[in-house]
Amino acid sequence: MLDIKFVRENPDIVKQNIKNKFQDEKLELVDQVLALDKENREIKKEVEALRANRNKISKQIGALMAQGKKEEAEEVKKQVTENAQRTEELSRREKEVEEKLLKIMMVIPNIIDPSVPIGKDDSENVEVQRFGEPVVPDFEIPYHTEIMERFKGIDMESAGKVAGNGFYYLMGDVARLHSAILSYARDFMIGRGFTYCIPPFMIRSNVVTGVMSFAEMDAMMYKIEGEDLYLIGTSEHSMIGKFIDTILPEEELPYTLTSYSPCFRKEKGAHGIEERGVYRIHQFEKQEMIVVCKPEDSKMWFDRLWQNTVDFFRTLDIPVRTLECCSGDLADLKVKSVDVEAWSPRQKKYFEVGSCSNLGDAQARRLKIRVNGKNGKYLAHTLNNTVVAPPRMLIAFLENNLNADGTVRIPEALRPYMGGMELISVKS
């Protein structure tokens, strides 16, 4: 959410930013905000004048009563009553205006970083860099669920009966691999100086609206019936929510946290054949990283966060690339975002396995996350990034480590978490 003062002083910049995000239907919202803001300031000014006048009249009444001029005092009292009625009327209107103003401000997108490429949708995202050599083996690589079935490691049919489409049972060595990757990711991030955390898996509505846009909320979140609680779609939501309505000592920044959680998502819409299996699902687990820092440090932390994910995947011998998200692919609160994509030897292309985002002070403004600095209070900057999110990551792992005989190689970094196992063998 933008600062109302910034919108007031830079309406043309705000409108151009909306155009850059290809959301022209929101252009009129800027003028609505300016009109409401003007009315709100005029109301406050009149209320302040009425209160000052009330104090003046109160002194006048006291003087008249002291002089025995009761009739004149009664006449003046009528002015006090009229002023009180007008003040009450203005206060009601002020509340209405501020509610409308906040509702619109929550919809106007954040100002994107100047380095973000301008594009309409994810088809115009820009490749930044590749890490590792993508290889296509000289043997056929089956679909990922077929690989898992060879190890008797997945049962989607039973899960469909129990919970419906978009769910799964992982079993045996595949389930162990899933847990091993998460445990390794936890220790990998601890090794990089991040504090490990297990957060609440449900959050209240004020936290939801503080960390994401209404469009994201509708597309992602499951609400608990009869409760002011939502299942988290990612632990970033509850991790950033941890700092709601707090004043942080500047000397304690940055806060660098890595969190484990299950994640729950609606995943609305139709998806292609490559997004079946365990690619798009309603329930998965993830290791996340978040940073709360000073504004001048957020660019540096952004680069360090996505690099962590790249380094993690490379230790598992998975080639990856980074993709700069264009303006039209950025969620409204984001200033800048980079996707990390893993190589799929079967598809002969990369696919998304993580996303790194800098949200500037947007979440901090909504959640009132302030920093007590040497020169006064200011809003913190917040960032988040995926370390790893199996079971989607399992697709990249299995394809890139599959051998011609159907076994799957366990990279050295992961072997301690797999009981020393070097290969996953096909089950007869």
d(CA 389, CA 396): 11
d(CA 261, CA 200): 8
User: Which of 11-41 are b and which e, b meaning 16 or more Cβ less than 10 Å from the residue's Cβ?
Assistant: eeebbebbebbebeebeebbeebeebbebbe
Name the catalytic one among 54, 130, 276, 280: 280
Distances in whole angstroms, Cα of residue 372 to Cα of each of 1, 13, 137, 366, 380? 21, 29, 56, 17, 10
Name the catalytic one among 96, 183, 352, 409: 352
Active-site annotation holds for 176? no
Output phi, psi for 3, to 5 deg.
-75, 130
Could you tell me whether strands 369-373 and 246-249 are parallel, antiparallel, or unpaired per DSSP bridges? parallel
Active-site annotation holds for 280? yes
CB 288 within 8 Å of CB 384: yes
d(CA 349, CA 142): 15
Name the catalytic one among 186, 346, 392, 399: 392
Active-site annotation holds for 265? yes
CB 356 within 8 Å of CB 384: yes
Nearest CA among 269, 263, 306 for reference residue 287: 263
Name the catalytic one among 265, 346, 365, 370: 265
Name the catalytic one among 355, 357, 365, 399: 355
Active-site annotation, residues: 265, 280, 352, 355, 392
